[in-house]
Chains A and B, each alone.
Chain A
Amino acid sequence: MLHLLVVEDSVELADNLAEILEGAGFSTGVVHSGEQALAAVFDEHFDAIVSDLRLPHMSGVELLQKLRAAGQSTPLVLMSAFADERAQAAARGLGAVAVLVKPFDCAALVTLLSSLLDPTRASG
């Protein structure tokens, strides 16, 4: 089963996203900050990360930078309440797969992740 990490400081949204992704056949881990996300990624394997752009202390872009600097190439989808072009461009430049503006179509997120992840690379 493909394993996804949800990074979202809104507890309710994190919970809903996990529920949606699990309903779509993924397994999930949920954290509420960038620091927790880094720790989780070094602790276990995730096939993709779905992260909020604005997080306390460490932004989604900073999380992405730290992951790439550490040699982690896990695909990352950003979610944002801000359609801030500069942050979006920076995120794409660093290899973010997509930036979804909240509130986004949840079915589109599921489709995006399903098409992004090759089932043969599943972590089991």
Chain B
Amino acid sequence: MVSGASPSRRAHVFLGMDAPRFQSLQDYVEFTPACAERLRELHAAVEPELPLVIDDFYAAISRDPGARAVITGGKAQVERLKATLNQWLVSLLLGARDEAYVAARSRIGQVHVRINLSQEYMLTAMSRLRVGLLRLAAQRLPPQDAAITAEAVNRALDLELALMLDTYRADSAARVDASARLAAVGQVAASIGHELRNPLGVVESSLYLTAQRLTKLDLHDPVLDKHLPRAQEQLRVCANTIASLLDMVRDAPLARGQFALAPLVEECLARTPRGGDVTVNVDIDTALQIYADRSQLGAVISNLTRNAFEALANAPVKQVTLVAIGTASGVELTVQDSGPGVDAAHRSQIFDALFTTRAKGTGLGLALSKKIVERHGGEIGLVPNPMQGARFRIWLPAAPTSLRGVSQR
């Protein structure tokens, strides 16, 4: 179990499976009052040994890089999580299966969703608990009781899985809702964006004329010298935000071709502002070809490198590493930084449109990147970083065989 993070900031509130449905599932697996009684007996027999099951559960997590990645708070967090798991086991064995029980399970499930715990880990972690409890039952109960208790344990844990899957499903439905809402809001925002571009064009040209006039008059005034560039810069920010928003809403047609990845990465790095003390390592074979819309992939790489550079602002070690590997099926590009990494509580949301943790972020960069990569039939995600910092992985499929060898500039 992983819990203890701050409450969900999602707009939707999912209180868990409704009572009649939960009852029907209990009926389905035949979880009866007699089963509940068996679990209470098991608790009485094995309570002192439950920490063994808990230790095994976290030892398994610590051995697996994928599972380990969801724990970001070190030993202290593991200790807190062990206490939470202990409560969970106690309520599994002793608790009444009422509304409060379902709501508590749902809260835990929501934390799993929020930290991006994959369902595979949820299922396999449950397997470790199952094996641990069944083993204790076999060791501590008379053989004739152990078999019946094992059935009760299996039924109880399968109900737990049903509750957890329900949370994942509710989250997925909420995302579909959010996506539909965004599409509607996006259309309105796009119209407004277009309308704003004309007046922004007037502002841009007026500022340009003003700056030219000052140059011509050879007029130097500290206030004007400070505020004119500031206004121009902020105008660029407005224009970029509108451009990202419009890119997000419309589906720019993909103009795919085969081209060398390394020069594109260099171009993206060259146009991304960064501090002077940042070390950038690029490990991309100059012969490595990728099949993509060059300009749209450039937008994705620029977004990732910009995020990486911005994450280094207060980092003691300032390093960004880009590595690409080509295989027969496609190309994998990872962008890794030595910044503080992505907070576990934000991992499931970073690709959501309008989600940002930066004071100046628009919350569009990663959402747009995801949209572009997925339209290419590829994948983008945050992956565990053996070092500190965030590590993003993009995978794009290779060109269809018939198109290989057709090259783009």
**Is there an interface contact between A12 and B202, defined as CB atoms closer than 8 Å?**
yes
With contacts A13-B198, A13-B202, A16-B205 known, is A103 near B239, CB below 8 A? yes
A113 an interface residue at 8 Å Cβ cutoff?
no
Q: Does A107 contact B (CB under 8 A)?
A: yes
The answer to the question of B182 belonging to the interface, with a C-beta cut-off of 8 Å to chain A, is no
When distances are taken between beta carbons in the complex, the residues of chain B under 8 Å from A40 are none
The verdict on B95 contacting chain A, using a C-beta distance below 8 Å, is no
A72 at the interface (CB under 8 A from B): no
**Interface members, chain B 188-206 (any A CB < 8 Å):** 194-195, 197-198, 200-206
With A12-B202, A104-B201: A20-B208 Cβ-Cβ less than 8 Å: yes
A:53-94 near B, CB below 8 Å: 79, 81-83, 85
Are B194's CB and A81's CB within 8 A?
yes
A98 within 8 A of B: no
On whether the beta carbons of A10 and B202 are closer than 8 Å, the reply is: yes
Chain B residues near A45 (CB-CB < 8 A): none
Q: Is the CB of A103 within 8 A of B246?
A: no
Q: A16-B209, A23-B209, A107-B208 are in contact. Are A81 and B243 (CB under 8 A)?
A: no
Asked if B201 and A83 sit within 8 Å, CB to CB, the answer is no
- Known A-B contacts A19-B209, A20-B209, A82-B194; the reply to A13 vs B201 at CB < 8 A is yes
On whether the beta carbons of A16 and B202 are closer than 8 Å, the reply is yes
Complex: A106 Cα to B209 Cα, angstroms: 9
Does B204 contact A104, Cβ atoms closer than 8 Å? Answer: yes
Tell me the bound Cα distance from A88 to B203 in angstroms. Answer: 24
- Docked CA distance A101–B193 (Å): 12
Interface size on A, residues (CB 8 A): 20
Flag if B197 contacts A81 (CB, 8 Å).
yes
Is the pair A85, B252 in contact by a Cβ cutoff of 8 Å?
A: yes
Q: Which residues of A contact B209 (CB under 8 A)?
A: 16, 19-20, 23
Q: Write out the residue numbers on chain B whose beta carbons fall within 8 Å of the beta carbon of A103.
A: 197, 200-201, 203-205, 235, 239
Contact residues in B for A79 (Cβ distance below 8 Å): 201
Which residues does chain B contribute within 8 Å of A12, judged by CB atoms?
202
Q: Are B243 and A13 within 8 A (Cβ)? A: no
Quick one: closest A residue to B235, CB to CB? Answer: A103
Instruction: Decide yes or no whether B212 CB sits under 8 A from chain A.
Output: yes
Collect the chain A residues with CB atoms within 8 Å of residue B195's CB: 81
Closest Cβ of chain A to B95, distance in Å, is 58
Query: Which of B198, B200, B202, B243 interacts with A83 by CB under 8 Å?
Result: B243
Contacts of A85 in B (CB 8 A): 252-253
A residues 7-62 near B (Cβ < 8 Å) are 10, 12-13, 16-17, 19-20, 23
Q: How far is the CB of B247 from chain A (nearest CB, A)?
A: 8
Interchain nearest-CB distance for A54 vs B (Å): 9
Known A85-B253, A101-B243, A103-B235; contact A13-B197, beta-carbon cutoff 8 A:
no
**Nearest-CB distance from A21 to chain B (Å)?**
10
Tell me, rounded to whole Å, the shortest Cβ–Cβ distance linking A81 to chain B: 4
A16→B235 contact, CB < 8 A: no
* CA A17 to CA B205, docked complex, whole Å: 7
The proximity string for B residues 201-240 relative to A, scoring 1 for CB distances below 8 Å and 0 otherwise, is: 1111110110010000000000000000000000100010
Listed from nearest, the 5 A-B pairs whose CB atoms lie closest are A81-B197, A16-B205, A103-B204, A102-B201, A106-B208
